[in-house]
Amino acid sequence: MRPTGKLHIGHYVGALENWIALQGEFENFHLIADYHALTTSLDTGDLLANSLDMVIDWLSAGIDPEKSPVFRQSQIKEHTELFLIFCMLITKERLERNPTLKEQVRDLNMDTIIFGHLGYPVLQAADILLYKGQVVPVGEDQAPHVEITREIARKFNSSFGEVFPIPETRLTTFARLPGLDGKAKMSKSLGNTILLSDPPEDIQKKVRRAVTDPQKVRRNDPGHPDVCTVFTYHKKFNPGEIDEIRAGCESGALGCVDCKANCTAKIADYFAPMREKRAYYEAHPDEVRDILHAGEERARAEAAATMAEVRHAMQLGELEPVIPVKT
Residues that bind ligand AMP (CB under 6 A): 1-2, 4, 10-11, 14-15, 33, 138-139, 141-142, 175-177, 185-187
Which residue lies nearer to ligand AMP by CB, 238 or 310?
A: 238
Which residue lies nearer to ligand AMP by CB, 14 or 225?
A: 14
Shortest approach of ligand AMP to residue 286 CB, angstroms?
26
d(CA 72, CA 289): 12
Shortest approach of ligand AMP to residue 123 CB, angstroms?
12
Shortest approach of ligand AMP to residue 12 CB, angstroms?
8
Residue 58 CB partners (closer than 8 Å, separation 6+): 7, 16, 19, 30, 70
Which residue lies nearer to ligand AMP by CB, 75 or 100?
A: 100
Which residue lies nearer to ligand AMP by CB, 185 or 216?
A: 185
Residue 291 CB partners (closer than 8 Å, separation 6+): 55, 59, 65, 70
CB 35 within 8 A of CB 123: yes
Which residue lies nearer to ligand AMP by CB, 46 or 276?
A: 46
CB 146 within 8 A of CB 169: yes
Closest residue to ligand AMP, judged by C-beta, is 14
Shortest approach of ligand AMP to residue 15 CB, angstroms?
4
Which residue lies nearer to ligand AMP by CB, 143 or 163?
A: 143
- C-alpha distances out from residue 269 to 7, 20, 102, 124, 237, Å: 17, 19, 37, 34, 9
Shortest approach of ligand AMP to residue 30 CB, angstroms?
11
Instruction: Enumerate the β-bridge partners of residue 71.
Output: 31
Q: Phi and psi (nearest 5°) for 42?
A: -85, -10
Determine if residue 27 is left, alpha or beta; phi over 0 gives left, psi from -120 to 50 gives alpha, anything else beta: beta
Between the two ends of the chain, the Cα-to-Cα distance in Å is 60
Shortest approach of ligand AMP to residue 7 CB, angstroms?
8
